[in-house]
């Protein structure tokens, strides 16, 4: 797990940070090849620290670190930029992505595919419009990368999903067709097929896929609600 | 005692132990003064019912001052930010101290920050403009964004302090993120 590392120029994003001692920070970063890593950023909270304008969440960074323990030492940090800072609602959705990673992704396990999906989800959030497909794609890749990939094209019995039928999605088994109205939440076969084909143009697909992902994520989060979601909901109440 | 000292920000187990030994072995008088100051402050200090800053009164002196302009209300994150604003000598309105900022991953939302109190304060009928001076961090930005929506929905004019290259700052020595954002937010000149 925590073998001695010396890493340089590693693409990464800052997920979260907390103060450590008088002047430092412990960072939770998501790097492309090493996954989530805890880094001690010495002196990052000093008033004139050069790290202040660099260690910004949702912005592409290039980090170097060394060390062997659970917490490595940040050696170098460079801001890569290339996209505007997140703003408004996009920021809250960004926090949602970060919380998913912090809660679900084990430390020091590289997931380059997931990293790229995270980067493009952030780019979509920074761009403003049409973020739903990027979020769903990210959630799907996240589950697949941690070993809980969805079954979308085939039902739990192995039969091809029928776009005309309605289904109930059983966690870790897959969709099963719903005969008649059983009073349980269900979704259309078309939504499953759209998700398999990565096609989120249909508003019904957008709504149903969102519901499905929420149900599955709640399961893998052990029913413990996401703080960022709670804050987001409370903000809508004003 | 070591455990109690650790509640201070940035104080780890080692510094807490150092402080405790110092107070108990070398400075018992100082320890007594600290204890008295702490319990005194806890008894008399509370939040000003108008600006939310710490005060010994129900309403602090600044909020009661007739020399301050009640039509402007500047929202800041922490009491230290108030000092920075006052040092400018460029602002004569009133303040509201949030005592934090939205921090979704730490579970700090509108309830924890009592947004409702700020909205009531800004809706007193005298405030014409709310100036959002939360930090230019992601958390400060999220806070400013949601406050601006809530205040505008209540018919209150909202502005945000500008950001960019520091005065006297040369591009060469300004961090890339600041220059990039200054470029994105450039204005006609
Ligand atoms: Zn006051």
Do A221 and A213 touch, CB atoms closer than 8 A? no
**So what's the pLDDT on residue A53?**
83
Please, which residues have CB within 8 angstroms of residue A57's CB and are 6 or more apart in sequence?
Answer: A13, A14, A15, A16, A94, A98, B138
Tell me if residue B79 falls in helix, strand or coil.
helix
pLDDT higher than 90, residue A177: yes
- Token readout for B161 is 């302090």
Q: What is the pLDDT of residues B75-89, one digit of tens each?
A: 999 999 999 999 999
CA distances to A8, A10, A27, A34, A157 from A40, rounded to whole Å, are 15, 16, 6, 16, 49
Please, which residues have CB within 8 angstroms of residue A213's CB and are 6 or more apart in sequence?
Answer: A136, A139, A140
Q: What is the pLDDT of residues A128-139, one digit of tens each?
A: 766 788 899 999
Write phi, then psi, for B25 (nearest 5 degrees): -95, -40
Find, among B157, B147, B161, B105, the residue nearest to A229 by Cα.
Answer: B105
Give the pLDDT band (50/70/90) at residue B173: confident
**So what's the pLDDT on residue A2?**
53
CATH number of residue B74's parent domain? 3.40.1360.10
Domain membership flag for residue B150: yes
Name the minimum distance, in Å, from the CA of A219 to any CA of chain B: 19
Distance CA A182, CA A168 (A): 10
CATH of A6-79, one of 3.40.710.10, 3.20.20.70, 3.40.640.10, 2.40.50.140: 2.40.50.140
pLDDT higher than 90, residue A16: yes
CA neighbours within 13 Å on the CB side: how many for B112?
14
Q: What is the pLDDT of residues A26-39, one digit of tens each?
A: 999 999 999 999 99
Domain membership flag for residue B155: yes
Q: Which of B5, B12, B15, B105 to mutate to test the interface with A (most CBs of A within 10 A)?
A: B105
Domain membership flag for residue B168: no
| Closest by Cβ to A22, choosing from B10, B109, B141 | B10
Q: Which residues of B143-170 are buried (b: 16+ CB within 10 A; e: fewer)?
A: bbbbbbebbeeeebebebeeebeeeeee
Q: Please, what CATH class does the domain formed by A88-237 belong to?
A: mainly alpha
Question: Dihedral of CA B86/B92/B97/B100: which sign?
Answer: negative
CA distances to A92, A96, A144, B34, B132 from B104, rounded to whole Å, are 8, 8, 25, 34, 19
Tell me the pLDDT of chain A averaged across its residues.
Answer: 92
Q: What is the pLDDT of residues B134-171, one digit of tens each?
A: 999 999 999 999 999 999 999 999 999 988 888 877 88
Write phi, then psi, for B47 (nearest 5 degrees): -85, 130
Write phi, then psi, for A205 (nearest 5 degrees): -60, -40
Question: Could you tell me the pTM of the whole model?
Answer: 0.88
Burial class (CB in 10 A: 0-12, 13-18, 19+), A155: buried
| Centre of ligand 1 from the C-alpha of residue B65, in Å | 10
| Strand ranges (E), chain A | 5-20, 24-31, 35-41, 61-67, 71-79, 166-170, 174-177, 187-188
The number of distinct structural domains making up chain B is: 1
| Centre of ligand 1 from the C-alpha of residue B95, in Å | 7
Do A170 and A156 touch, CB atoms closer than 8 A? yes
Domain membership flag for residue B118: yes
Q: Enumerate the domain spans of chain A.
A: 6-79, 88-237
Per the CB < 8 Å rule, is A16 touching B10?
A: no
Per the CB < 8 Å rule, is B105 touching A21?
A: no
Find, among B138, B102, B96, the residue nearest to A235 by Cα.
Answer: B102
| Closest by Cβ to B105, choosing from A52, A87, A95 | A95
Do B84 and B59 touch, CB atoms closer than 8 A? no
| Centre of ligand 1 from the C-alpha of residue A176, in Å | 61
**So what's the pLDDT on residue A116?**
95
Tell me if residue A70 falls in helix, strand or coil.
coil
Distance CA B76, CA B73 (A): 10
Please, which residues have CB within 8 angstroms of residue B100's CB and are 6 or more apart in sequence?
Answer: B77, B78, B108, B112, B113
- Token readout for B145 is 């964004």
Give the pLDDT band (50/70/90) at residue A110: very high
Interface ipTM = 0.88
**So what's the pLDDT on residue A164?**
93
DSSP assigned state of B22 = I
Write phi, then psi, for A201 (nearest 5 degrees): -75, -35
- Provide the number of CB pairs (under 8 Å) joining chain A to chain B: 92
Per the CB < 8 Å rule, is B177 touching A79?
A: yes
Range of the domain at B87: 67-160
Q: What is the pLDDT of residues A199-224, one digit of tens each?
A: 999 999 999 999 999 999 999 999 89
């Amino acid at each position: 797990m925590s073998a001695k590392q010396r890493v340089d120029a590693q693409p990464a994003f800052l997920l979260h940070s907390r103060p450590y001692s008088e002047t430092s920070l412990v960072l939770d970063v998501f790097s492309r090849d090493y996954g989530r890593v805890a880094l001690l950023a010495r002196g990052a909270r000093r008033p004139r620290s050069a790290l202040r304008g660099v260690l910004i969440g949702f912005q592409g960074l290039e980090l170097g670190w060394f060390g062997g323990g659970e917490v490595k030492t940040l050696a170098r940090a460079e801001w890569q930029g290339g996209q505007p800072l997140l703003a408004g609602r996009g920021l809250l959705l960004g926090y949602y992505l970060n919380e998913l990673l912090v809660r679900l992704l084990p430390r020091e396990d590289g997931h380059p595919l997931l990293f790229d999906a995270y980067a493009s989800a952030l780019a979509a959030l920074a761009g403003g419009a049409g973020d739903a497909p990027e979020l769903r794609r990210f959630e799907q890749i996240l589950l697949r990368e941690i070993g809980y990939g969805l079954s979308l094209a085939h039902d739990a019995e192995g039969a091809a999903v029928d776009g005309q039928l309605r289904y109930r999605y059983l966690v870790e088994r897959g969709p099963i067709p719903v005969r008649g109205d059983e009073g349980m939440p269900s979704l259309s076969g078309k939504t499953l097929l759209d998700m398999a084909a990565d096609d989120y143009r249909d508003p019904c697909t957008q709504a149903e896929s969102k519901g499905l992902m929420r149900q599955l994520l709640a399961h893998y989060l052990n029913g413990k609600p996401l703080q960022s979601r709670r804050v987001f909901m409370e903000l809508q109440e004003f | 005692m070591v455990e109690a000292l650790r509640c201070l920000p940035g104080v780890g187990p080692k510094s807490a132990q150092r402080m405790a030994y110092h107070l108990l072995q070398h400075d018992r008088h100082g320890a007594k003064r600290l204890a008295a100051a702490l319990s005194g402050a806890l008894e008399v200090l509370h939040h000003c019912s108008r600006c939310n800053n710490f005060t010994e009164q129900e309403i602090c002196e600044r909020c009661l001052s007739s020399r301050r302009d009640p039509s402007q209300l500047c929202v800041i994150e922490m009491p230290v930010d108030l000092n920075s604003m006052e040092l400018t000598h460029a602002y004569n309105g009133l303040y509201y101290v949030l005592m934090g900022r939205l921090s979704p991953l730490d579970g700090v939302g509108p309830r924890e920050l009592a947004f409702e109190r700020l909205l009531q304060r800004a809706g007193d009928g005298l405030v014409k403009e709310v100036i959002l001076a939360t930090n230019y961090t992601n958390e400060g930005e999220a806070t400013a964004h949601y406050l601006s929506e809530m205040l505008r929905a209540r018919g209150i004019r909202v502005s945000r302090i500008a950001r960019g290259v520091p005065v006297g700052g040369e591009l060469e020595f300004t961090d890339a993120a600041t220059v990039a954002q200054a470029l994105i937010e450039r204005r006609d000149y």
